[in-house]
Structure 1
Amino acid sequence: MGTIQVVFMTVLVFFVIVTIHEWGHYFFAKRAGILVREFAIGFGPKLFSVKRGETRYTLRLIPAGGFVRMAGEDPELVEVQPGQTVAVRLKDNLITRIYLDRLDERTGTIRGEVESLDLEHKLQISMLVEGEAETFAVHPQALIIARGKETQIAPIDRHFGSKTLPQRAMALFAGPMMNFILAFVLFAAYIQMAGVTEKVLVNTVQSGMPAEQAQLQSGDVIDSINGEKIGADFNRMIDIIGASAGVPITLKIIRDGAAKQLQITPVADDAGVGKIGVTPKYETRSATVGETITKSASLMKQMTVYIFQSFKMLITGQFKLDDLGGPVRTAEVTSQIAKQGFVQLTSWTALLSLYLGIFNLLPVPALDGSRLLFLGVEAVRRRPLDPNKESMVHFIGFAMLMLLMLVVTYNDILRLVRGE
């Protein structure tokens, strides 16, 4: 790939795995009837923003994730208070617009002082209009307009917290779930493109090593070692040879369609591991539908185990700061893999999507896993936790995650400057 293609594919990888995650939250929140105020990719200042229907779609400066802002999760940004003078616009006897500023410029409106209001349950406002008390019904999708911004009201039945436990749990779990689905689909696409390995062949033979002395040749098929079939499992071949330093082994090979047996004694390297001096190449074929499904599931399992092993090493202190990578290092590795071709990039994107799904299910404050844990506690207690306390826990967790991201990003930049 050229430089422009590499940059484009790197950005696309991040965009796809984050967007599919947030779309999962968005889709199941909307399905439950929750008002989704914003669908954002990235954090920080807005780079691009457009509103479609009830939701504002934004692209933000810091490409380190995204979020779906649902009504009731955070305090509403705009409030109307009793005693405040407002202007309202009616349609079919329902208030559709509530103006909080520049009242003299609002034509076709009714202006008055708010006596009382309920924009969540009763959906009505009582106002003093020219000295007379009047009560108006409010449209469930009415807009509050202040400082040039429109904020849609959220009746209580549109709040996240008003939904059943299963609906809220699904809206939270749907993000990681979509990452798992994407990972499976991408692993399947990778298997279809890469094919299924059927045989391990000798690629090159190193001069002066046991393989050359035994007259192994490029193109020989490794059929078995000491009677154990190798098939496509080159790693098993390495394990057997590695454990046989100084011990003769019997290789059954296929050369030009004919079977031959060779006796080879691996030599020990500096670490005491047996070597015979060959590199492999593989004979592949197209995968069947069944093989694509089973091998995709197998890759999902293998990579999941690998990810949890990495988490374990992090918890037990086997990782140093330099071993951790933030968005900068991830982008660097992604660009390097993109240069290897679309097939390798597909596999890497699947791994990143799987990692994002698993990471978000960790019981860390501010992540989906922590919020699901709070729902589990609510189910056991049969009553919700204090939303203010829960919000504080998630806020602290988010701040700590952002701090960690800043530290590893700073370390990544220093590493790039040092040319490591």
Structure 2
Amino acid sequence: MEMVQVVFLTVLMFFVIVTVHEWGHYYFAKRAGILVREFAIGFGPKLFSYKRNETQFTLRLLPFGGYARMAGEDPELIEIQTGQTIAVRLNNENQVKRIYLDQLDNRKNVIRGEVQFIDLEERLSLRLDVDGEFQQYEVHPQAMMVAKGTETQIAPKDRQFGSKSVGQRALAIFAGPAMNFILAFILFAVYIQMVGLPVENPTYVQIGKVSEGMPADEANLQEGDIVESINGTPIGADAQKIIELTSASADKPMEWTIRRGDQVLNVTLTPRTVKGEEGGKVGIVAQMPTRQAGFTETITGSGKAMVETTNIIFVGFKQLIEKFSMDDLGGPVRTFEVTGQIAKSGIDQLTQWAAILSLYLGIFNLLPIPALDGSRLIFLGVEALRGKPVDPNKEGMVHFIGFAMLFLLMIAVTYNDILRLING
């Protein structure tokens, strides 16, 4: 049951982090009037899909991220050529509401003809040759093209990503990482509320987490117990002393004096050696006493955690560049593994870890790497300085190459993660 809960919490955490990021793109794109064709979590084959208003919401198999696909970012997949035979269905205002590209003989209540003229971006009109008679039609701005059983909404020029101002496009792109920063700030604040703040000038050390199956668990020590002395040595507020005394007593019985509320308990513990670790272990995390954080303390504490974690992330980037090694990289498999281990430590630790991952995702996406949000913002900055956009084909090629390289790197680190798991 615990394993099911850990898996559920791990998947839920990633789902929330990615969804918040993509929702940022989606929300500000919609505010700018951009048609968002798909809001997807994950990549690859669809697991679940439903359509709401103009957007298809999908959950996909590979949990490597997500995307909000906006009209005009990529070349339209469906094009109608002059001379092509199509069928159209009109609404009550005689506007084209549906355009059928195949199975024309099976379509009912339609007008079938050969395309003489069509403009689905600016003029929103088309002209058909229907049995030798030319007929002109206005196209509804939300008309659907139907081919191979799939409906694709047309994207007039004013609904496409490229038609919006540099500021609107930059906001739609930056909003993804920004939502991750906001989520990280909120999660750090929630974590502070969960664990509290250290008491000033503490006089004692208390037991935090107790590992199942270890000597402390077998002796029924509990979270919140105060360690008063070990082998007659007073502990006071010196958590390091507990570690030193325990480490030096591997396989040797120790006498612990514990205070639990108004009770004083004398407990005998025998520290064990743990593979890969030095000295004896009893299976506890010693922690200093804490108090409930106030509102102002929570806000300032969360901001401080954001700054400190950001510094650690950039130090990690620097070390990775200076001493690059595949063993230092972790993909989705390793991240899921670490998250699962943290989830076993409690919801408070998982909340802090989620805050760190959300902040990391926001920062990573702003790096000037092709295919990431940071690279797209650089192209918009160049456009703002030049007064005209970079050639879309050249920009698209840069992003495509960047995405391909990131995907290959993801495959490599995932393979590395799997080998690490197999080899223990």
Q: How does 1:261-276 map to 2 (within 5 A)?
A: none
The equivalent residue for 1:264 is: none
Q: Which of 355, 358, 362 is 1:357 aligned to?
A: 362
Q: Which residue of 2 aligns with 1:66?
A: 66
Task: Assess if the C-alpha contact under 8 Å between 1:26 and 1:36 holds in 2.
Answer: yes
Report the 3-state secondary structure (helix = DSSP H, G, I; strand = E; otherwise coil) of the residue aligned with 1:340. coil
TM-score of the two chains, using structure 1 as the length reference: 0.82
User: Number of matched residues?
Assistant: 356
Deviation at 1:280, TM superposition (A): 5.5
Instruction: Name which of 283, 287, 298 aligns with 2:293.
Output: 287
1:327 aligns with 2:328: no
Percent of pairs with identical residues: 65
Partner of 2:156 in structure 1? 155
Paired amino acid for 1:191: I
Structure 2 distance, partners of 1:397, 1:189, is 36
Contact 2:205–2:289 (CA under 8 A) maintained in structure 1: no
Q: Does 1:387 align with 2:392?
A: yes
> Distance between the aligned counterparts of 1:34 and 1:23, measured in 2?
14
| Deviation by residue 1:54-87 (Cα, 9 ceiling, x = unmatched) | 1001111110000010000001111111000000
Q: Which of 283, 290, 314 lines up with 1:308 in the alignment?
A: 314
Unpaired stretches in structure 1, ≥5 consecutive residues: 205-211, 223-233, 236-278
Alpha carbons 2:237, 2:288 under 8 Å: kept: no
Match of 2:279 in 1: none
Q: How does 1:193-208 map to 2 (within 5 A)?
A: 193-199=194-200, 200-201=202-203, 203=205
Instruction: Please name the residue that 1:260 is paired with.
Output: none
* 4+ long deviations beyond 3 Å: 199-204
2:246 counterpart residue number:
none
1:268 is matched with none
- In structure 2, the residue corresponding to 1:175 is in which secondary structure? helix
Indicate the SS of the match to 2:234: coil
Name the counterpart of 2:270.
none
* Contact kept in structure 1, 2:72 and 2:162, CA below 8 Å: yes
**Equivalent residue of 2:397, what SS?**
helix
Question: Does 2:138 match 1:137?
Answer: yes
Q: CA deviation at 1:201?
A: 5.0
Q: Alpha-carbon deviation of 1:41?
A: 0.5
3-state SS, counterpart of residue 41 of structure 2: strand
What pairs up with 1:26-175 in 2 under 5 angstroms?
26-91=26-91, 92-175=93-176
CA distance in 2, matches of 1:115, 1:146: 20
Q: For the structure 1 residues 382 and 112, does the alpha-carbon distance in structure 2 shift closer, same or farther, using more than 3 Å as the test?
A: same
Task: State the Cα distance separating 1:336 from its structure 2 match.
Answer: 0.3
Q: Structure 1's 381 and 216: CA in aligned 2 closer, same or farther, altered over 3 A?
A: farther
Quote the offset at 1:203 in angstroms: 4.2
| Aligned twin of 2:234 | 217
- Letter of the 1:6 partner, please give it: V
Aligned to 2:180: 179
* One-letter amino acid of the counterpart of residue 140, structure 2: H
- The alignment status of 1:344 with 2:333, answered yes or no, reads no
Q: Which amino acid counterpart does residue 8 of structure 2 have in structure 1?
A: F
Once the 2 structures are TM-superposed, how far is the Cα of residue 53 of structure 1 from its aligned partner?
1.1
Residues 204 and 289 of structure 2 are in contact (CA less than 8 Å); yes or no, is this contact kept in structure 1?
no
State how far apart, in whole Å, the 2-side matches of 1:304 and 1:159 are: 35
**SS of match in other structure, 2:68:** strand
AA aligned to 1:376 is G
Q: Which amino acid in 2 is paired with 1:153?
A: I
CA distance in 2, matches of 1:16, 1:281: 30
**AA of the residue aligned to 2:390:** L
Q: TM-score normalised to the size of structure 2? A: 0.81
Q: Secondary structure at the match of 1:354?
A: helix
Which secondary structure state, in structure 1, belongs to the residue aligned with residue 38 of structure 2?
Answer: strand
| Residue 20 (structure 1) aligns with | 20
User: Which blocks of at least 5 consecutive residues in structure 2 are unaligned?
Assistant: 207-228, 241-284
Q: What displacement does 1:291 show?
A: 0.2
Q: Counterpart of 1:16 in 2: which secondary structure?
A: helix
Deviation of the 1:281 alpha carbon:
3.0
CA distance, structure 1, for counterparts of residue 233 and residue 367 of structure 2: 50
Equivalent residue number for residue 209 of structure 1: none
Equivalent AA in structure 2 for residue 381 of structure 1: R
Supply the distance in 1 between the matched residues of 2:237 and 2:346 (Cα, whole angstroms).
27
Letter in 1 for 2:81: Q
How far does the alpha carbon of each residue in 1:243-277 deviate from its partner, in whole angstroms, 9 at most, with x for none? Answer: xxxxxxxxxxxxxxxxxxxxxxxxxxxxxxxxxxx
Superposed CA deviations along residues 302-351 of structure 1, whole A, max 9, x for unmatched, are 0000000000011112x421121000000000000000000000000000
Tell me the equivalent position of 2:282: none
Matched residue SS, 2:289: strand
Which of 364, 367, 372 lines up with 1:367 in the alignment? 372
Equivalent AA in structure 2 for residue 13 of structure 1: M
**3-state secondary structure, aligned to 1:366:** coil
Match of 2:417 among 390, 407, 412: 412
- How many angstroms does 1:189 deviate by? 0.3
Residue 383 of structure 2 is matched in structure 1 by: 378
How many angstroms apart in 2 are the aligned matches of 1:13 and 1:3? Answer: 15
Q: Measure the CA separation in 1 of the matches of 2:115 and 2:157.
A: 21
Any conservation in 2 of the 1:25–1:175 contact (CA below 8 Å)? yes
RMSD, aligned α-carbons: 1.9
